[in-house]
Amino acid sequence: MFARVRTPAAPSPAAPLDTAPRCLANVRVIAALIVAALAIAACGEDLPSTSQWTSGHDIVRGEAPLAYISDNGSDTVSIVELRTMTLRARLPVGLDIVQREAPHHLVAAADLGALYVGLSNVLPSGLVGIHADHGGGDLDSYVQRLDIADLSPDGWVRVDSNLGDIVRVPGTSRFVTSHFDLKRALDVITAGDPIEDASAALVIIDGETMQRIASLTICIAPHGVVINTAGLAAVACYGEDSVAIVDVAASPPVLRARVPVGAAAQALPPPTYGPYAMTLSPDGSRAFVGLSEGRGYRVLDMVSASMMPGMVADVTGAAFFGAFSPDGATFYGPTQQLDTIVAIDAATLAPIASVTLDAEVCVAPHVIEYVAALGELMLVCEGDHRTAGTVVALDPATLEVRAFVAVGVYPDGISVVDEVSW
Amino acid sequence: MTRVRAALLSSVGALLLLAGCADTTPQERGAALFVAPDLSGSPTNAASCATCHATGAIPADWIPVGGTLAGVTQRPSFFGGGELDLRTSINFCLRRFMRAPAIEPLAEDDPRGRDLLSYLETLEGPADAVPWTLGSIADDLPPGDAARGAVVWDAACRGCHGQPRTGAGRLSSLVAILPDETIEEHGADARLRTIEKVRNGQFYEAGGDMAPYSIELLSDQQLADVLAHLGLAE
């Protein structure tokens, strides 16, 4: 076709329209040929799409300090501007868009530009299946890394099942996960297998490479973890009424001791005390052990790796994750059923104050964080596990509620960032 | 004559342009991909985007499991807020519901994906997030009506499963014949398993390719009616 148009017929002298000079006619022919050539060339190619994908992840801005809250029941992380108690965003997390993965506790590491979320892969009560309830799941858990500015996914690593807590090793980019594996314990006991098989592990991951770098079996149903600056971890072992002392700075990590939390400690479930939550004092010398069955706090001496005699604070409900005042003099603890906040003299364990929270403000208090920048306590309340939970700002001196804000369903973890550079 | 020849040549060029390029706009290629099972790259996949999604107002006689995609490119999130990224959502569909073997079936620079996006951008609709709630799995549905269930079956189930008991007209031989295969596999649990499958789809280790029906798209009453139609009444 191209050859044919390149060979025009001789012009007819009688053509009435052919009145232009011959050179001009040639120009027209050449122009026509160019148009045709362009047309032919264009027809061999599709018009490319100019549409552009967008990530959908916008930077979440707000004034520091910002709190990141793991919403176990809605598979989200809520970001709260604490100064104004404003919910800045509630964004989805997890590896699977559809399946519930129950984000359970989290660590915001602004220096690494990342948020590390424990995906426990268990479901709140009321749903059936292999996910089961906290501690009863069959599936492996994961730690997901998200960009701290916009919560876009940035990596993951598989750990063991029934993730209980995630804590950063101070001064490093390593993180420790505990695994509240009640199912393993009950399966072993039911089957009559050796009780050693009932113990679950502490897993250590590298937060930069997102690789699993160590695993150490420590005790039955470990949950709350604290780690001091020397790299010594204390882990609440719910299923055997003990606290495991682990050197996570050593390579490989070493189990130093398993310390019974009281005289009536049980080596097998069901526990008498049910140590569940751990809170480290500001100087790292002591850890308060929250007892979910024994309804109280007991104190671990991190230096001697022993429980401190007589240091027992009885409370009216299951004892959860607390906080210290900056000077370490006062301990604040949340309890469930009854839902209260208690203030305790950290040196003597004498009660200072106790408040029962209004259900409209807080149901099932789970964890307290002291936010030095504001001089306030931030309390995370699970709620009824079907509707939104809350974050509550409390006056440390009076335990009065200053403000509260609704977050996602079944919130259970808080991590605060003091400086925002994004 | 030269002008005539030039005009003719230009016309030929224009015709070539029209004939050769009219069917290759990104939107039209995207529309073709929308109905193409082979977009997933799986030789055993029979579903396309159009199997599960309407592109405008949902007709009265269809309950598409994925709802409508009208306005989808303007939405702030997808899967009921479970994902913020449209391309990630599409890749999730391709992997989970269309058997795509690749981890990322449509990479960011894949021209097929951008053509599909161009097409989706033509589907005008509300820019709001669409509620999409998965129901809890419970065997306490209201009593069902078999006659109503037959209508719901035609609107929601027949497109993939074909005729009950025979599977006639089903999407592919890999799609279960209901309720027989469920009864064969699960016996007395067939009713609960069917509820679980409808509400959870393939998720939570259920397996298969099915997408879950949200309670916004398929009510508990409609599900109960389908169970009655299948003879799986409580």
Report the chain A residue with the minimal C-alpha distance to residue B135: A127
The answer on pLDDT for A102 being more than 70 is yes
Task: Round the average pLDDT of chain A to a whole number and report it.
Answer: 89
A35 interaction partners in chain B (CB closer than 8 Å) = 9-10, 13-14
Which residues of B are less than 8 Å from A43 in CB distance? 16-17, 19-21
Per the listing, tokens 């002298």 go with A13
A32/B118 Cβ within 8 A: no
What is the Cα–Cα distance from A356 to A362, expressed in whole angstroms? Answer: 10
Task: Name the phi and psi angles at B51, rounded to 5.
Answer: -65, -35
Contacts of A410 (CB under 8 A, 6+ apart): A71, A72, A73, A74, A124, A382, A383, A385, A389
Size of interface A-B (CB pairs under 8 A): 151
- CATH classification of the domain holding B186: 1.10.760
Average pLDDT of span A128-147: 77
Q: Give domain status of residue B60, yes or no.
A: yes
Q: Which residues does residue A226 pair with via DSSP β-bridges, in sequence order?
A: A234
Residues B39 and B111 in one domain: yes
- Chain B closest CA to A205's CA: distance in Å? 24
Instruction: Look at chain B and report how many structural domains it folds into.
Output: 2
Tokens representing B215 are 């309670």
Shortest distance, CA A255 to any CA of chain B (angstroms): 35
Minimum CA–CA partner of B5 in chain A = A29
Q: Is residue A128 over pLDDT 70?
A: no
Per-residue pLDDT at A34? 55
pLDDT of residue B49: 98
Which band of pLDDT confidence, cut at 50, 70 and 90, is reported for residue A30? low
Give me the residue from B17, B86, B113 closest to A43, CB to CB: B17
pLDDT value, residue A139 = 86
d(CA A57, CA A79): 14
DSSP state letter for B175: S
- Which residue in A94, A96, A98 is closest to B212 by CB distance? A98
Using the structure block, give the residue that is written with the tokens 């280790």. B205
Give the residue from B105, B120, B135 where a domain finishes.
B120
Q: Which residue of B has its CA nearest to A123?
A: B204
Residues of chain B with Cβ-Cβ distance to A57 below 8 Å are 84-85
pLDDT at residue B202, as a whole number: 92
Query: Quick check: B5 and A30 in contact, CB under 8 A?
Result: no
- The per-type count for chain B, helices as H runs and strands as E runs, is 10, 0
B151 and B210 within one domain: yes
> Which residue range is the domain that position B156 belongs to?
146-229
CA distances B193 to B172, B183, B187, Å, are 21, 9, 10
Check B203 against A131: CB less than 8 A apart. Answer: no
Check A18 against B3: CB less than 8 A apart: yes
Confidence (pLDDT) at B7? 46
Which chain A residues contact residue B84 at CB under 8 A? Answer: 55-57, 91-92
B31 part of a folded domain: yes
Q: How far is A19 from chain B (nearest CA, A)?
A: 9
Tell me the two tokens of residue A337.
Answer: 């059923």
- For position A15, what pLDDT does the model report? 35
Sorting pLDDT into bands at 50, 70 and 90, what band is A132? Answer: low
Shortest CA gap A398–chain B (Å):
39
**Terminal alpha carbon distance of chain A:** 61
The sign one gets for the Cα dihedral B170, B176, B178, B184 is: positive
Chain B: closest CA distance from residue A88 (Å):
15
> CA-nearest residue of chain A to B7?
A32
Average pLDDT value for residue range A292-318: 97
Q: What pLDDT, on the 0 to 100 scale, is given for residue A125?
A: 44
Task: Tell me whether residue B130 is in a domain.
Answer: no
Q: Which of B120, B155, B188 is the last residue of a domain?
A: B120
Give helix B111-120 / helix B86-96 axis angle, nearest 10°. 110
With b for 16 or more beta-carbon neighbours within 10 A and e for fewer, the A312-332 pattern comes to bbebbbbbbbbbbbeeeebbb
* Average pLDDT of span A46-57: 90
Q: How far is CA A264 from CA A268, A415, B82, B88, in A?
A: 12, 34, 46, 53
Give A30→chain B minimum CA distance, Å: 8
Do residue B82 and residue B164 come from a single domain? no
* Minimum Cα–Cα distance from B85: chain A residue: A56
Same structural domain for residues B103 and B154? no
- CA separation for the pair A237, A196 (Å, rounded): 14
pLDDT of A229: 97
CA A6 to CA B227: how far, in whole Å? Answer: 72
CA distance A49 to B28: 11
pLDDT band for position A89 (cuts 50, 70, 90) = very high
A161/A365 Cα distance (integer angstroms) = 25
Q: Are B222 and B172 part of one and the same domain?
A: yes
pLDDT digits (tens, 9 = 90+) for B208-217: 999 999 999 9
B111 and B153 co-located in one domain: no
Q: What is the pTM of this model?
A: 0.87
**Which residue bears the tokens 């005729």?**
B163
Architecture of domain A66-417: 7 Propeller (2.130)
CB A300 within 8 A of CB A243: yes
Backbone phi, psi, residue A41, to 5°: -65, -40
State the SS3 of chain A.
CHHHHCCCCCCCCCCCCCCCCHHHHHHHHHHHHHHHHHHHHHHCCCCCCCCCCCCCCCCCCCCCCEEEEEECCCCEEEEEECCCCEEEEEEECCCCCCCCCCEEEEEEEHHHCEEEEEECCCCCCCCCCCCCCCCCCCCEEEEEEEECCCCCEEEEEEEEECEEEEEECCCCCEEEEEECCHHHHHHHHHHCCCHHHHCEEEEEEECCCCEEEEEEEEECCEEEEEECCCCEEEEEEHHHCEEEEEECCCCCCEEEEEEECCCCCCCCCCCCCCEEEEEECCCCCEEEEEECCCCEEEEEECCCCEEEEEEEEECCCEECECEECCCCCEEEEEEECCCEEEEEECCCCCEEEEEECCCCCCCCEEEEEEECCCCEEEEEECCCCCCEEEEEEECCCCCCEEEEEEEEECEEEEEEECCCCC
For chain A, the structural domain boundaries read 2-12+20-43, 66-417
Q: Which residues of B touch A40 (CB under 8 A)?
A: 13, 16, 20
Question: How far is B168 from chain A, CA to nearest CA, in Å?
Answer: 30
CA distance B46 to B173: 9
Q: Chain A partners of B131 at a C-beta cutoff of 8 Å?
A: none
Closest alpha carbon to B155 in B233, B60, B72, B45:
B60
pLDDT at B23: 63
Q: How far apart are the first and last CA of chain B?
A: 86
Considering CB atoms only, which of B5, B13, B25 is closest to A8? B5
Q: Which chain A residues have a beta carbon less than 8 Å from that of B111?
A: 48-49
* Range A300-313 average pLDDT: 97
pLDDT value, residue A37? 52
Put simply, the answer to whether A35 touches B86 (Cβ < 8 Å) is no
Q: Both tokens of residue B207? A: 């397996």
**B151 in the same domain as B88:** no
Q: Has residue B58 been placed in a domain?
A: yes
Q: How far apart are CA B110 and CA A1, in angstroms?
A: 34
Please give the helix or strand (H or E) that residue B37 lies within, else none.
none
Tokens of A421: 């550079």
Which residues in chain B are contacts of A101 at CB distance < 8 A?
A: none
Q: Do B6 and A28 touch (CB under 8 A)?
A: yes
Are the beta carbons of B16 and A75 separated by less than 8 Å?
Answer: no
The rounded radius of gyration (Å) of the Cα atoms in chain A is: 31
SS3 (DSSP) at B78: strand
B204, B213, B214: best mutation site toward chain A, by most A Cβ within 10 Å? B204
At residue B40, the 3 state secondary structure works out as helix
CA distance A78 to A32: 64
Question: Quick one: pLDDT at residue A9?
Answer: 35
Q: How far apart are CA B54 and CA B151, in angstroms?
A: 19
% of residues, chain A, pLDDT over 90: 82
Query: Chain B partners of A131 at a C-beta cutoff of 8 Å?
Result: 204
Q: Residue B215 domain-assigned? A: yes
Dist. CA A395–CA A402, nearest whole Å:
7
Nearest residue in B to A46, CA atom = B24
Q: What is the pLDDT of residue B10?
A: 46
ipTM of the shown complex: 0.85
Q: Note whether residue B171 is domain-resident.
A: yes
Residues B107 and B158 in one domain: no
Give the β-pairing of A365-371 and A376-381: antiparallel
Q: Which residues contact A85 (CB under 8 A, 6 or more apart)?
A: A391, A393, A403, A404, A405
Average pLDDT value for residue range A201-214:
98
Q: Is residue B140 part of a domain?
A: no
Residue A282, pLDDT score: 98
Picking from A57, A127, A152, the nearest residue to B137 by CB comes out as A127
Q: Does pLDDT of A127 surpass 70?
A: no
Strands A86-92 and A103-109, how do they pair?
Answer: unpaired
Task: Flag if B121 and A51 touch (Cβ within 8 Å).
Answer: yes
Partners of residue B17 in chain A, C-beta under 8 Å: 39, 42-43
Is B86 in contact with A43 (Cβ distance < 8 A)? no
With respect to residue B197, please indicate whether it lies within any of the assigned structural domains: yes
- Report CB contact under 8 Å: B6, A129: no
pLDDT in the model for residue B139:
60
For residue A43, the model assigns a pLDDT of 55
**Torsion sign (Cα): B117, B120, B121, B127:** negative
Average pLDDT over residues A51-59: 94
Q: Is the pLDDT at A257 greater than 90, yes or no? A: yes
- Residue type (1 letter), A57: H
Collect all residues of chain A within an 8 Å Cβ-Cβ radius of residue B207: none
Range scoring the smallest mean pLDDT among A41-45, A387-391, B122-126: A41-45
Contact A164, A146 (CB under 8 A): no
The distance of A163 to chain B (nearest Cα, Å) reads 18
The whole-number pLDDT of residue B22 equals 54
- The tens place of each residue's pLDDT in chain B, 234 residues long, gives 444 454 444 454 444 444 455 568 999 999 999 999 999 999 999 999 999 999 999 999 999 999 999 999 999 999 999 999 999 999 999 999 999 999 999 999 999 999 999 999 999 999 999 999 987 666 678 999 999 999 999 999 999 999 999 999 999 999 999 999 999 999 998 998 899 899 989 988 788 999 999 999 999 999 999 999 999 987
CA A70 – CA A91 distance, rounded (Å): 10
